[in-house]
Copies of this chain bind each other. A is one copy, B any other.
Amino acid sequence: MAADPPGFELPLRLFLGFRVIIDELHAELARQGHPDLRPMHGFVLQAIGPEGTTAVELGRRLGVSKQAAGKTVEALERLGYVERGSDPRDARRKIVRLTGRGVDSLVRSARIFDDLRAGWAKTLGEDRLRALEADLRAVTPADAFRLDVPGWFGGY
């Protein structure tokens, strides 16, 4: 009988799968008028949500400091995906909101993700893809996504 695959292949494949999807998403997003969006930005825009949020709250959701969240918002503002306004009910808060362009990128992303999933379903079969998703759900936390990838990966 065959030996077990070496343990290091699993994380490699997981990451490669993630990267393949994200790369294809952004290639398609670039074709659809969003060439400046980086992988991280999609997660940030998602974390901001339709209601808008503040830098501190955003930092909490993403698992990074409020300063880091502030810098990212600044970059996204330069690109035209979010805008900052003041809260009439609390002069301390500045609310970050998605612009029309920001919402558009999110809507397109959702459709592209669905298309990419359909591509996997065609290769693997819907049944096995569902099994794969179920298995991954069984071994990963339900937790929110952490955005501190550069620091996490690269090290501090």
Interface residues, chain A, with chain B CB atoms under 8 Å away: 4-22, 25, 38-41, 109-110, 112-118, 120-121, 123-124, 126, 128-133, 135-141, 143, 145-146, 149-150, 152-156
Given contacts A8-B110, A153-B149, is CB(A133)–CB(B13) below 8 Å?
yes
Main secondary structure of the interface of A (DSSP, over half): helix
Identical chains in the assembly? 2
Do residues A17 and B20 form an inter-chain contact, with CB atoms below 8 A? no
Q: How far apart sit A128 and B139, CA to CA, in the bound complex (Å)? A: 12
Q: Which of A16, A25, A137, A146 has the most CB of B within 10 A?
A: A16
Q: How far apart sit A17 and B24, CA to CA, in the bound complex (Å)? A: 20
Q: How far apart sit A128 and B116, CA to CA, in the bound complex (Å)? A: 23
Q: How far apart sit A17 and B134, CA to CA, in the bound complex (Å)? A: 12
Do residues A16 and B140 form an inter-chain contact, with CB atoms below 8 A? yes
A130, closest chain B residue (CB): B5
Given contacts A123-B138, A124-B138, is CB(A11)–CB(B6) below 8 Å?
no
Q: Which of A110, A139, A141 has the most CB of B within 10 A?
A: A139
Q: Which one, B19, B131, B136, contacts A13 given CB within 8 A?
A: B136
Q: Which one, B13, B113, B123, contacts A6 given CB within 8 A?
A: B113
